[in-house]
Chain A
């Protein structure tokens, strides 16, 4: 019964979405208030119906109802409750249900909080939102119904892929989807604005918080996935330029660009067409990511058993959405007139430069990700494009952007003097040079790129702090006044400062972990010791034990440095009972300077074990930096101006300098 209620709710949601996609749009065109007013209750109803459908599927998982195919394929009675719940979205059908649930959540949020939106814009944006929903409901109901029954009813389920039975990965998909789908808001508003032919500061002020929220979630989702790969796959790496990683990274790059360009629209009333285009691109890349991950055209952990019909459907959806929106942009885009003029050297110019680099980087990642598909399609052979390609293209593109990131916030709007700005940054240049000198002495054997990376991190970090001291007039005004300015700083400005600082810290971490990783692979017998980066790993032996639905072989390493004990690492190998599939749980000890990381492999004939031992420098900096970036985004989201609604004609006063991105 529960399954039928869920299925029925999904069908009802489709019908409501069809109404929401058409009636308000016609109403907005003809100026009929009553027709436009349909959008709000419809959006809220959709969310209610989706919540029922999702609740039903969750109930089926929790009670292990094996008359439902989806539950059989992905669950088991012995599975811990957390993973029964996570199993709901740990598969193709369920994750799509989560996708549309989040879509309807955002839609109803506009309906509830959008009281001060112009009615036409609101009606049109909600209609566009419903069009996307219709596409996905049809996809689910026609090709991927999560509520399909199975007969005869099996006694037990096939369990969830053990790799996915992990707390980090349990919340990774919801976070990622909140990000992906969050960009649908910017997209819907962009399409609505194109239909209306008007983009103004109020529009940007409405789109910005949604984009910011989506960006925070996407950042978190990507970081969680990366963290999971780091401790679960046991390769000591955290980013592999795998197609599915790229699938989430491309919308992130476009979304970051959108975040910055929407500031320009809001403050300076220019770059409108570009911002609309970015909103379209960010969501298109999110859809493309869904396509790449869900259709199984790429080899990856996310490629569930595949069905060509699904791939064709998503491809069709992709063509309609991207092609349609770009065509609309080509038709209506020229009508968007920007009033704010500016010189190339200005805050706007710097933000545009950042946008161009981010867009180029996203294009490069897109090309590298799709190249194997293209080449195969034209019969050019099967290839893989791996990390060396992405590193050679992506990193050089980022270098000028990081340099510009410290300069941009110091430039004034409209027109600025580059030399004045650079003069303010001499301390940052000094900091970068000192950091590079220190690193080249400490790690003389490492790659040149490592030294450059640390220098860039120091430059960006110091540059951001210099901008902050300038903003609060530290050392130039009495200390009390500076502290007052610090307290009075808008939260959006804090968001910029902390976000850029977070990136600086993360760059240091990525550089450290990428450039100076020490790896040692060997066969070890109990009692043997191996030295890695000055740490002695003594292998104590293994012991066996039982987890809730798996058995454990646990290897113990006593790590010492110059005879002084550091930590005892436990590296596990788990074998899951139902699928008899093993997973690796690396033993990790996190320190300020780096992670000690141990993985144990199979037993060899002579009683030894294959072990992989790593010293991964500065890894924790990377996670800390990303967390700071998410915090910065959230802080910026709580800024007063996002709650005030439509802007006043003028900024309140010149004392609170205009906030950056």
Chain B
């Protein structure tokens, strides 16, 4: 086999692989990308039930209620709008009232059912998404970048 043919064979295999990978990625992007919303976004955009999203903001002061069966109810707020969230499980170690939080899940009859709750890992650190959501609602109190 000539060098040129050899090269062509490998270019062909590489294209095949890339094609397969691109097809996989495109279909995966379609189904598996989760958009980030603040409570105000959820209200304004009139999101329908069942779409998987990330909801971010602050845990509203005094809103955390624990009920039986390890279910926790709390409200996520961007200080303009607040949205009720229910979550079954153990909250992350740094989950606190008044602090930033991101919940991933689906809207169900006006309540956000979260199956994952992420709190920041470091108390001096605010996830950029939340900082931006708070800036948008005009409630950002941190220092300006």
Contact = CB atoms under 8 A, between A and B. Distances in A.
The interface residues of chain A, by DSSP majority, are classed as: mixed
A304 B122 contact: yes
Nearest to A519: B89
Interface string A231-261: 0001000000000000000000000000000
B21 A389 contact: no
Contacts of A601: 70, 89-91
Interface stretch (A19-27, A95-103, A295-303, A619-627): A295-303
Given A381-B35, A392-B28, A393-B24, A523 B69 contact: yes
Nearest to B66: A604
A371 B26 CA distance: 12
Contacts, number: 142
Interface in A456-493: none
Contacts of A606: 68
B17 A360 contact: yes
A581 B123 contact: yes
A161 B122 contact: yes
Contact of A303 (B21, B33, B66, B125): B125
A611 B129 CA distance: 30
B13 A356 contact: yes
Contact of A389 (B14, B28, B93): B28
B36 A382 contact: yes
Contacts of A300: 121
B58 to A, nearest CB: 15
A522 B70 contact: yes
Given A583-B93, A602-B90, A389 B17 contact: no
A306 B127 CA distance: 11
A389 B6 contact: no
A385 B66 contact: no
A342 B118 CA distance: 52
A193 B70 CA distance: 62
Contacts of A384: 33-34, 36, 54, 104
Interface string B26-43: 011101111110000000
Contact of B90 (A306, A357, A393, A521): A521
A299 B129 contact: yes
B121 A301 contact: yes
A364 B25 CA distance: 7
Contacts of B14: 356
Contact of A393 (B28, B69, B88): B28
A490 B91 CA distance: 53
A388 B36 contact: no
A396 interface: yes
Interface residues of B, number: 47
Contacts of B24: 364, 392-393, 396-397
Contact of A341 (B3, B17, B122): B3
Contact of A599 (B1, B21, B31, B90): B90
Nearest to B120: A299
Contacts of A368: 25
Contact of A304 (B90, B125, B145): B125
A341 B32 CA distance: 43
A612 B89 contact: yes
A388 B28 contact: yes
B111 interface: no
Nearest to B129: A382
Interface in B88-125: 88-91, 93-94, 102, 104, 118, 120-125
Interface in A359-377: 360-361, 363-364, 367-368, 371
Contacts of B132: 382
A392 B125 contact: no
Interface in A561-601: 579, 581-584, 599-601
Contacts of B124: 305
Given A382-B36, A384-B36, A234 B28 contact: no
Contacts of B18: 360
A383 B27 contact: no
Interface centre among A303, A381, A384, A605 (most CB of B within 10 A): A384
A393 B25 contact: yes
B66 A605 contact: yes
In the complex, the 5 A-B pairs of residues with the closest C-beta atoms, listed nearest first:
A601-B90, A382-B36, A389-B32, A388-B32, A392-B28
Given A296-B128, A388-B28, A604-B66, 13 more contacts: A297-B128, A304-B122, A304-B125, A341-B1, A343-B6, A344-B1, A389-B28, A389-B32, A389-B33, A392-B27, A393-B28, A397-B24, A602-B91
19 contacts: A161-B121, A296-B125, A301-B122, A305-B122, A344-B13, A356-B14, A357-B17, A389-B29, A392-B32, A393-B25, A396-B24, A397-B17, A521-B90, A523-B69, A581-B93, A599-B90, A601-B70, A610-B70, A610-B90
